[in-house]
Amino acid sequence: MTNADKDRVVIFDTTLRDGEQSPGATMTHDEKLEIAGLLDEMGVDIIEAGFPIASEGDFRAVSEIAKNSKNSVICGLARANTKDIDRCWEAIRHAEQPRIHTFIGTSPLHRAIPNLTQDEMAERIHETVTHARNLCDNVQWSPMDATRTEWDYLARVVEIAIKAGATTINIPDTVGYTAPVESADLIRRLINEVPGGDEVVFATHCHNDLGMATANSLAAVAGGARQIECTINGLGERAGNTALEEVVMALKVRNDIMPYYTNVDSTKIMHISRRVATVSGFNVQYNKAIVGKNAFAHESGIHQDGMLKNAETFEIMRPSDVGLAETNIVMGKHSGRAALRAKLKDLGFELGANQLDDVFYRFKDLADRKKEVYDEDLVALVAAGEDEAKDRLTIKSLRVVCGTGGPAEAKLVMLIDGEEKTVTQSGDGPVDATFKAVRDLHPNDAHLSLYQVHAVTEGTDAQATVSVRLEEEGNIATGQSADTDTVLASAKAYVNALNRLLVRRGKTGEDKREISYKDVS
């Protein structure tokens, strides 16, 4: 990084790698390509597209993202062995700007896993970083669990990696153990005390186990780091990773005390946040900073009065800064196709003619059932209809009878590979009866590990968005759907997840994790 760039913080997004490691967050091939495209468009400097050796599906996704990237550096992850590194290079080599990211666990706990002495691990670091640099000019190296590695040994291996040709040294707080003062001091010492430390870029990769990922990342920047590794919505293992939207907006809003900048177009944040939430099946909590539903909502009378007089009284940033419309224009049953197209464009959706026709049809149907159709309703409509044309299982009709007089009963009509089938089932409540009916028509051993319902907007006529997570033989699939009928939304979400399992079942091993990499950086 040149002196002219010393105030720029490079944003390294790992939603497609570390974020996807969050249990249940696995994305389809097309979804990975879509998210990569959105990251590329919004100005993310580096996209860690995946772990190429993990599976054939991961390799194909990384390779295609590398070929399609227009602006971002495309990075692949590799463990500290030549097989991983060669596979990584094969996947990213067609990118305009490729990067190999290789790592090894350096703390005493992680050194015990491969049973390596300090000297043996040091030799492996030298060999593998050298091998990666012989393939690619842009090499990143990470000492996994760096914040719990002895200082003398961490300094030693960082120096070895720099001498072997690493151009970026990433310091991961793999288990979210450190605190801001330690984070800043560690980066500062590495830059000042390790030979060659002032000639490479130092990065920070923080997990949120103690709720300090964003604070630790910003502290590392104050200590001299110039790359932040993060994910959209803070998606990631356990409590998640540093949230991209939080560090980008913190640097923008508090530039007075943190005089650094990023190249990220913050007005695209809300759209990609919604898309990641949809494709991952991980809804954003209402009070989540920057992108939560309540982030720009005001209910207290004192707050409302202050907002009416001057928005800056209780808002430190404008909704438009992150891509939210200043006013939520309500669509209704009299709204036309042109108005819907314009509204969807404002929300970040550029739909083709056939897609628009489909959404318009379902919008009109929803408008007949609801008094008002809000932005959130439209986002849910777009998400709900994305894959239906390719689905093998489709709900044609559902009739449910329930109450206090006995068990609930569900009469379900489904199309299975184009053939119409009908069944009636009873159960302990309408959702239980419906799910049993689905299993009758499409027998399966998938375990329901998550069933979650939340209202898209307010009111008794609000759409319910239902998220379902299923697990079957090592595969995990999430399904989502929205409808004013909660039971129907539940059935559609359940069937959506089953369709995803069918896709994975048909690709032997392609989307399964063929190796374990749950503790990566």
pLDDT value of residue 108: 96
Phi first, then psi, for residue 231 (nearest 5°) are -135, 160
Residue 436 reports pLDDT greater than 60: yes
Instruction: Give the separation between CA 181 and CA 214, rounded to whole angstroms.
Output: 13
In CATH terms, is domain 3-280 a member of 2.40.50.140?
Answer: no
Q: What is the pLDDT of residue 58?
A: 92
Cα dihedral value 139, 143, 145, 148, nearest 10: -140
Q: CA-to-CA distance for 489 and 498, rounded, in angstroms?
A: 14
Could you tell me which of 261, 246, 329 has the C-alpha nearest to residue 292? 246
Instruction: Name the least confident of 5-19, 126-140, 208-222.
Output: 5-19
Binding-site residues, in ranges, read 18, 205, 207, 241
| Torsional sign, CA 26, 43, 272, 61 | negative
Q: What was the pLDDT predicted at 303?
A: 44
Q: What is the DSSP string of 87-127?
A: HHHHHHTTSSSEEEEEEEE-SHHHHTTTT--HHHHHHHHHH
The model carries a pTM of 0.78
460 pLDDT tier (thresholds 50, 70, 90):
confident
Where are the chain's structural domains? 3-280, 292-317, 318-384, 390-505
Tens-place pLDDT, residues 335-347? 888 888 888 887 7
For residue range 350-362, list pLDDT tens digits in order: 888 888 888 888 8
Mean pLDDT, the chain, whole residue set: 88
Residue list, annotated binding site for Mn(2+): 18, 205, 207, 241
Domain 390-505, CATH class in plain words = alpha beta
**CA-CA-CA-CA torsion sign (342, 347, 349, 350):** positive
Q: Where does the pLDDT of residue 154 fall: very low under 50, low under 70, confident under 90, or very high at 90 and above? A: very high
- The separation between CA 479 and the C-alpha centre of its own chain, rounded to angstroms, equals 15
pLDDT bin (cut points 50, 70, 90) of residue 307 is very low
pLDDT of residue 41: 96
In this predicted structure, what is the pLDDT of residue 312? 58
